[in-house]
Amino acid sequence: MIDKRFDSPAEVVADICDGATIMIGGFGEAGSPIELIHALIDLGAKNLTVVNNNTGSGHVGLAALIENRQVSKMICSFPRTANSTVFPDLYQVGEIELELVPQGTLAERIRAGGAGVPAFYTATSVGTELAEGKEIRNFEGRDYVLEYGLKSDFALIKCEQADRYGNLIYNKTARNFSPIMAMAAETTIAQAGACVEAGELDPEVIITPGLFVNRIVTVADPARESRLVAEGRRYP
Amino acid sequence: MSTQSNSLEKQVGWNREEMAKRAALDIHDGAYVNLGIGIPEKVVQYVPEGREVIYHTENGLLGMGEAPAPGEEDSELINAGKKMVTAIPGAAYFHHADSFAMIRGGHIDICVLGAMQVAENGDLANWSTGAKDAIPAVGGAMDLVAGVKTIYIITQHCTKAGEPKLVESCSYPLTGQKVVKRIYTDLAVIDISTDGFKLIELAPGIDFDTVRDQTGARLIDGRT
């Protein structure tokens, strides 16, 4: 019998070890799996490489993971955000590494990684400093830059509903990177607002098919990052 | 010089609202449009009556609507600037790879962005000043200029310090090469032509010589 449901965030992240590469879903706070990130802070795994569009805000969620000095490298497109001071402060003193990737190239690298495509060419960034040192090839009269697919050991994502097979549906723009990260990770861990029996989700509306998902934990009333930041909360 | 319009005096130049309003005239009926953060966001308010335009936001929504009414905000329904928005009837959600396939694949008709500098060949710099102590952040700007069919720029003609933003070649790091089609400033509407900057329309109370003096490269008078 297949049942990917677990009881607690602590259980689903327990085997994340030092040096792991982790994709974390979310665009700003929308889709950020804040309870899974906090469980990872409790676990304490260090020297992590984290893939996310941003670097978190305030002193909770991804920003708190960075502030707890568990992240040695960020791969992202936009590391500055309102209320984001943790990453900028560490970056300016050389305490954290940054690989800056254009947002669409980041998304396609993740998609390619999950789809078994090792590399691809894109026109994005041609002629800019982000293409320096990369292979350029001309197709039909236009230059393109070679970019590599991106895979990870784990993905931490948030969804609206899951079933016990790991089929997922999302909520509005909280979907963002999560479906492609689920494809690109060796082990995908989802926190779900609700978990239902197989058959309860309409197969026509499932966004992430269950084979891309390994573990599910129900977080019925997830924290809202902006609310925690407004309240001046810190984690731990 | 002041470019603010004032009802008591003769209008000189366009203010931010008027720049957005002028750009909106060039958004055609049926267009799929992506708007950058800042003045470009204002274009929504000024698209002429009778034109139906669908707004794309790169974090996964086609059919972005207006700001939500108080009490209707949803932190999982946001735009690329991470502001809370609404979705119109007929909107669609999708993941990031699909969203950028729309952009990179040439399916978005028009993108309106801000600029730090535009060069006479259409090169755009709008993501970094190149300062050593800055935190580099590019977001989706390079994908948009590489993939969207038509790139419009709304910007002040000069910096606050009075330096021209329309230049022979950009000194700031590029966002893309030869990507800009048209620029709307507080002084004029200027096309990127094969011969460089080509003025096609003056703002009220502005003459050609004024625009030429504030442009850091050759300016052709393209008014017909």
- Average pLDDT in the B184-207 region? 98
- State the CB neighbour count (10 A cutoff) for residue A41: 19
**Is A135 inside any structural domain?**
no
pLDDT at residue number A80? 85
- The bridge status of strand B87-93 relative to strand B61-64 is antiparallel
Measured between beta carbons, which residues in chain B are less than 8 angstroms from residue A80?
135, 137
Which neighbouring-strand residues pair with A144?
Answer: A137
Cα-based distances in Å from B12 to A10, B3, B5, B191, B199: 64, 5, 6, 21, 17
Give the B window 92-111 contacts with A, CB below 8 Å.
Answer: 93-97, 99-100, 103-104
Burial class for B66, CB neighbours closer than 10 Å (0-12, 13-18, 19+): exposed
Residue A182 belongs to domain with CATH number? 3.40.1080.10
Cα-based distances in Å from A192 to A136, A158, A227, B34, B204: 42, 6, 20, 31, 56
Residue B34, phi then psi, degrees to nearest 5: -115, 130
DSSP 8-state assignment for residue B216: B
Is 90 exceeded by the pLDDT of residue A81?
Answer: no
CA dihedral B135, B136, B141, B143 (to 10 degrees): -140
A14-24 pLDDT, tens per residue? 999 999 999 99
Are B137 and A80 a contacting pair at CB < 8 A? yes
pLDDT at residue number B7? 55
A96-144 pLDDT, tens per residue? 999 999 999 999 999 999 999 999 999 999 999 999 999 999 999 999 9
Residue A48 and residue A70 in contact, taking contact as beta carbons nearer than 8 Å: yes
- Average pLDDT in the A187-208 region? 97
DSSP element (H, E) containing A41? helix A34-43
Q: Can you tell me whether residue A183 is helix, strand or coil? A: helix
Residue with tokens 């590399």: A119
- Average pLDDT in the A60-83 region? 95
- Average pLDDT in the B77-100 region? 96
- State the CB neighbour count (10 A cutoff) for residue B12: 18
Are B177 and A207 a contacting pair at CB < 8 A? no
Measured between beta carbons, which residues in chain A are less than 8 angstroms from residue B111?
none
Among B117, B142, B144, B148, most A C-beta atoms within 10 A, so best to mutate, is: B142
pLDDT at residue number A82? 77
Which neighbouring-strand residues pair with B119?
Answer: B167
**Structural tokens at position B162:** 């009075």
Number of domains forming the structure of chain A = 1
Residue B150, phi then psi, degrees to nearest 5: -125, 125
- Average pLDDT in the A200-217 region? 98
Among A103, A129, A147, most B C-beta atoms within 10 A, so best to mutate, is: A103
pLDDT at residue number B1? 45
Name the nearest CA neighbour of B174 among B120, B112, B133, B130.
B130
Are B59 and A30 a contacting pair at CB < 8 A? yes
pLDDT at residue number B11? 87
Distance CA A150, CA B14 (A): 46
Name the nearest CA neighbour of B75 among A222, A212, A195, A115.
A222
**Is A139 inside any structural domain?**
no
Q: What's the gap in Å between the CA of B78 and the closest CA on chain A?
A: 6
What percentage of chain A exceeds 90 in pLDDT?
98
Residue A72, phi then psi, degrees to nearest 5: -100, -20
pLDDT at residue number B10? 80
Question: Does this complex have an ipTM over 0.90?
Answer: yes
Q: Where do the DSSP E strands lie in chain A?
A: 5-6, 21-24, 48-51, 71-76, 97-100, 119-122, 136-139, 142-148, 152-163, 168-169, 185-196, 215-218
The residues, any chain, with a CB within 8 Å of residue A89's CB and separated by 6 or more, are none
Burial class for A89, CB neighbours closer than 10 Å (0-12, 13-18, 19+): middle
Topology adopted by domain B16-182: Glutaconate Coenzyme A-transferase (3.40.1080)
Closest residue to B60, CB basis, from A77, A81, A173: A173
What percentage of chain B exceeds 70 in pLDDT?
96
Q: How many CB pairs under 8 A join A and B?
A: 141
**Lowest-pLDDT choice from A210-219, B52-61, B123-132:** B123-132
B120-179 pLDDT, tens per residue? 999 999 999 988 888 999 999 999 999 999 999 999 999 999 999 999 999 999 999 999
Closest residue to B143, CB basis, from A98, A100, A102: A102
- The bridge status of strand A97-100 relative to strand A71-76 is parallel
Name the nearest CA neighbour of A4 among A222, A158, A187, A186.
A187
**Is A32 inside any structural domain?**
yes
Measured between beta carbons, which residues in chain B are less than 8 angstroms from residue A82?
82
pLDDT at residue number B134? 86
Residue A214 and residue A181 in contact, taking contact as beta carbons nearer than 8 Å: no
Peptide bond into A236 cis (omega under 30): yes
Is 60 exceeded by the pLDDT of residue B194?
Answer: yes
Domain extent listing, chain B: 16-182
- Average pLDDT in the A32-46 region? 98
Are A129 and B138 a contacting pair at CB < 8 A? no
Are B143 and A173 a contacting pair at CB < 8 A? no
Are A175 and B60 a contacting pair at CB < 8 A? yes
Measured between beta carbons, which residues in chain B are less than 8 angstroms from residue A139?
none
Closest residue to B96, CB basis, from A79, A177, A226: A177
Measured between beta carbons, which residues in chain B are less than 8 angstroms from residue A27?
59-60, 78, 82, 96
Residue A61, phi then psi, degrees to nearest 5: 60, -140
Among B62, B77, B96, B117, most A C-beta atoms within 10 A, so best to mutate, is: B96
Q: What's the gap in Å between the CA of A40 and the closest CA on chain B?
A: 23
**Is A19 inside any structural domain?**
yes
The radius of gyration of chain B from alpha carbons, rounded to an integer in Å, stands at 18
Query: Any chain A CB within 8 A of the CB of B148?
Result: no
Is 50 exceeded by the pLDDT of residue B67?
Answer: yes
Domain containing residue A79: 5-116+151-230
Active site residue B66: no
Going edge to edge, which strands form the sheet with A119-122? A119-122, A142-148, A136-139
Q: Can you tell me whether residue B112 is helix, strand or coil? A: strand
Residue A120 and residue A153 in contact, taking contact as beta carbons nearer than 8 Å: no
Average pLDDT value over all residues in chain B = 95
B21-40 pLDDT, tens per residue? 999 999 999 999 999 988 99
Are B82 and A92 a contacting pair at CB < 8 A? no
